[in-house]
């Protein structure tokens, strides 16, 4: 068995729970150094049509059509947690996509992103279980597809993928999570707050992995990571960010003071609200 082929197989699974368990099983094999599981770093794997595998629901709509999610009513809190579960489900997919799509990288790259996929699977399962206590399942509310859209747009550009998915879109969660936790705590949902504690702690590590491999790729190609990131923002136009930024979490995840100062000064990614 080849890890990258198996990652593609998991990416094609449409049921979120089955996908999550498939990823966790694959990670367990990798952690145990199963001799039957190898990593073919050189193989260029053709992408099938219809990626990623996902269920018929939730209905995917433009971000502006997703209504505000107040945690201070049972329905609003369920909608908010559903939105976070949707992000985690997509994060499983983007990690699996990184594992199968990009050949010719160090073996550690594929191990790093399988670990990310397994932790995102854990996050999804925690949120889905909590959502069930509120009388809902994943798919009950509309969602948007911004995270996967950027994953798809950068499928042919490894440097852009590392720059704009983990260290741009996923890093937004570092900023948003403490604010969401404060609202959930005020609403009395301490179980959700604890789940988000787990997610925030591990997402710092995921963003750090993105920062590491972005800088590794820039060094390999003779690019300045700060100036090239600004060029990628102009080229790919990721969703725009706004303060406040979680400075400590971003520093822990490997952002430099120069990068944070650029964001805080009102960069091209900071003049519209995050979703």
Distance from C-alpha of 92 to C-alpha of 122, rounded to nearest angstrom: 10
Distance from C-alpha of 229 to C-alpha of 241, rounded to nearest angstrom: 15
CATH of the domain at 158: 1.20.1260
pLDDT at 201 (0 to 100)? 97
Report the domain count for the chain.
1
Distance from C-alpha of 62 to C-alpha of 275, rounded to nearest angstrom: 11
Q: Is 79 exposed, middle or buried (0-12, 13-18, 19+ CB in 10 A)?
A: buried
The answer as to whether 135 is a domain residue is yes
The answer as to whether 71 is a domain residue is no
Over the stretch 40-77, which tens digit does the pLDDT of each residue have? Answer: 999 999 999 999 999 999 999 998 899 888 899 999 99
The answer as to whether 53 is a domain residue is no
Run of H or E including 227: helix 225-236
The answer as to whether 44 is a domain residue is yes
Flag whether pLDDT at 272 surpasses 80.
no
Q: At 80, is the pLDDT very low, low, confident or very high (cuts 50, 70, 90)?
A: very high
Q: Quick one: how far is CA 224 from the chain centroid?
A: 24
- In degrees and rounded to multiples of 5, residue 50 shows phi and psi of 85, 20
Flag whether pLDDT at 268 surpasses 60.
no
Distance from C-alpha of 77 to C-alpha of 187, rounded to nearest angstrom: 9
The answer as to whether 269 is a domain residue is no
The answer as to whether 275 is a domain residue is no
Over the stretch 168-207, which tens digit does the pLDDT of each residue have? Answer: 999 999 999 999 999 999 999 999 999 999 999 999 999 9
Distance from C-alpha of 198 to C-alpha of 36, rounded to nearest angstrom: 32
The answer as to whether 196 is a domain residue is yes
The answer as to whether 219 is a domain residue is yes
| Domain extent at residue 254 | 3-48+82-264
């Amino acid at each position: 068995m080849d890890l990258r082929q198996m990652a593609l197989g998991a990416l094609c699974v449409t049921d979120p729970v089955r996908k999550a368990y498939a990823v966790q099983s694959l990670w367990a094999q990798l952690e145990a150094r199963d001799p039957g599981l190898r990593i073919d770093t050189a193989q260029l794997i053709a992408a099938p049509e219809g990626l990623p595998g996902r269920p018929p629901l939730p209905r995917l709509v433009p971000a502006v059509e997703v209504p505000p999610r107040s945690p201070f009513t049972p329905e609003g809190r369920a909608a908010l947690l559903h939105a976070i579960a949707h992000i985690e489900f997509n994060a499983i997919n983007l990690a699996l996509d990184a594992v199968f799509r990009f050949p010719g990288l160090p073996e550690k790259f594929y191990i790093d992103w399988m670990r990310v996929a397994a932790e995102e699977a854990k996050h999804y399962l925690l949120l889905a279980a909590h959502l069930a206590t509120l009388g809902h399942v994943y798919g009950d509310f509309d969602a948007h597809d911004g995270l996967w859209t950027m994953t798809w747009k950068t499928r042919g550009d490894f440097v852009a993928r590392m720059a704009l998915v983990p260290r741009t879109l996923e890093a937004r969660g570092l900023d948003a999570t403490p604010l969401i936790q404060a609202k959930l705590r005020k609403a009395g949902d301490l179980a959700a707050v604890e789940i988000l504690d787990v997610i925030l702690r591990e997402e710092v590590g995921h963003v750090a992995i993105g920062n590491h491999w972005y800088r590794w790729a820039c060094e390999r190609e003779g690019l300045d990571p700060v100036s090239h990131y600004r060029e990628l923002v102009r080229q790919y136009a990721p969703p725009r960010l706004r303060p406040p930024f979680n400075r400590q979490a971003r520093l822990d995840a490997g952002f430099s003071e120069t990068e944070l100062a650029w964001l805080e000064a009102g960069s091209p990614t900071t003049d519209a609200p995050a979703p």
